[in-house]
Amino acid sequence: MKNSIKARRRFGNGVVYVVLAALGLLWISPIVYLVISSFRAEKGSFLDGYIMPRGYTLDNYVRLFTDTDQFNYPRWFLNTFVVAVCSCIISTLFVLMVAYALSRLRFKMRRPIMNIALVLGMFPGFMSMIAIYHLLKVINLDKTLVALVLVYSAGAGLTYYITKGFFDTIPKAMDEAAILDGATRFQVFWKITIPMSKPIITYTVLTTFMAPWLDYIMASVIMKDNYQNYTIALGMYRMLERESIYEWYTAFCAGAVIVGIPIAILFIVMQRYYVEGVTGGSVKG
């Protein structure tokens, strides 16, 4: 009797292993193939009648950084990095400011502001892209990197919700003690709350840093044809257009690998906070 249960469990586990292995293979193979293609010597977006490349080379990587007339990969990488750093600093500050004010300070307009933010958050962001473009044109900022920074960070205040949830969990007694000792509320915010909020700051910094690397739609509307100011996503999308895909496909794969590495590292760092973030801190994963 006992043996049969054990055997059944072993059989069950065997099935699970097979399924997991099959699925794992399915998930990992496109990425492996991407890496393989980035070292492929043959040109073209696919191979004619066979799958594994017949020759390997490092040229695709070299080419990204040397052949920059048409596709200026290093420049785009730098653009994206600068935009990401700036917008991540501004966004994080905005989010912390709004979250702290709405979580810790009491004032008349607190509830109305939270309700307005809730409704505003439901408007799809892309809906207003044309208006944003014309607005930027009016202040002579269209097709510039400054515009991208503004667009990515100006609305950040609306995404305060998760951070506010975190601030709500910090005991209020500390604030009160500090205020009794004569600290201003700003000092409480800057010297007590901020240092205690490392996890949520890390989460905010990483998510806002990653956004410009992944965004295509806003960047494409703002930059139009200004190749010099493209971001990575925009530029790499252009590589795969009909006229250039044959020449540039393998270089695209190489570029993808290069972008993928920092994002992968960031994601692994962030993973710990990710679950807490989306479930509003109700679960410690």
Partner 1 sequence: MAAKADRQQKKDGLGATISRGVRGFGHAVSSFFKEIGAAFSQGDWRTRTSFIIMGFGCFTRKQFVKGLIYFAVEVLFILYMVFFGAHYLQDIGTLGTNLFDREWDEANQIWINIPGDNSMLILLYSVLSIFLCIFFLVIYFSNIRAAWQAQQMQTAGKKLPNFKKSLLGLLDEKLHVTLLTPPAIGVLMFTVLPVVFMICLAFTNFDRNHQPPGHLFTWVGLDNFKDIFGGNQLKSYTFFSLLLWTVIWAIFSTFINYFLGMLIALMINKKGIKLKGLWRTLFVVSIAVPAFVTLLLMRNMLQDAGTINVLLQDVLGWTDAPIHFLTDGTLARITVIIVNYWIGIPYSIIITSGILMNIPADLYESARIDGAGPWKQFTRITTPYMLFITTPYLITQFIQNFNNFNAIYFLTAGGPQTLAYYQAGSTDLLVTWLYKLTVQWQDYNLASTIGILVFVICAVISLATFNLTASAKREETFQ
Residues of span 71-110 touching partner 1 by CB under 8 A? 94, 97-98, 100-101, 103-105, 107-110
Using CB under 8 A as the binding rule, whether residue 3 contacts partner 1 is answered as no
Q: Tokens for 215, please give them.
A: 């965004």
One residue of 7, 28, 62, 78 binding partner 1 per CB under 8 A: 28
Q: What is the three-state SS of the chain?
A: CHHHHHHHHHHHHHHHHHHHHHHHHHHHHHHHHHHHHHCECCCCCCCCCCCCCCCECCHHHHHHHHCCCCCCHHHHHHHHHHHHHHHHHHHHHHHHHHHHHHHHCCCCCHHHHHHHHHHHCCCCHHHHHHHHHHHHHHCCCCCCHHHHHHHHHHHHHHHCHHHHHHHHCCCHHHHHHHHHCCCCHHHHHHHHHHHHCHHHHHHHHHHHHHHHHHCCHHHHHHHCCCHHHCCHHHHHHHHCCCCCHHHHHHHHHHHHHHHHHHHHHHHHHHHHHHHHHHCCCCCCC
Using CB under 8 A as the binding rule, whether residue 41 contacts partner 1 is answered as no
Which amino acid is residue 253, in one-letter code? C
Using CB under 8 A as the binding rule, whether residue 275 contacts partner 1 is answered as yes
At closest approach, how far in Å is the CB of 208 from partner 1? 13
Using CB under 8 A as the binding rule, whether residue 211 contacts partner 1 is answered as no
One residue of 148, 200, 223, 236 binding partner 1 per CB under 8 A: 236
Q: Which of residues 161-180 bind partner 1 (CB under 8 A)?
A: 168, 172
One residue of 22, 56, 70, 111 binding partner 1 per CB under 8 A: 111
Q: Which of residues 214-233 bind partner 1 (CB under 8 A)?
A: 214, 216-217, 220-221, 233
Strand partners, 56: 40
One residue of 237, 238, 244, 281 binding partner 1 per CB under 8 A: 237
Using CB under 8 A as the binding rule, whether residue 282 contacts partner 1 is answered as yes
**Cβ closest to partner 1, residue 103 vs residue 197:** 103
Using CB under 8 A as the binding rule, whether residue 129 contacts partner 1 is answered as yes
Using CB under 8 A as the binding rule, whether residue 285 contacts partner 1 is answered as yes
At closest approach, how far in Å is the CB of 269 from partner 1? 11
**Options 60-68, 81-89, 125-133, 198-206: segment touching partner 1 (CB under 8 A):** 125-133
Per rule CB under 8 A, count of chain residues that contact partner 1: 101
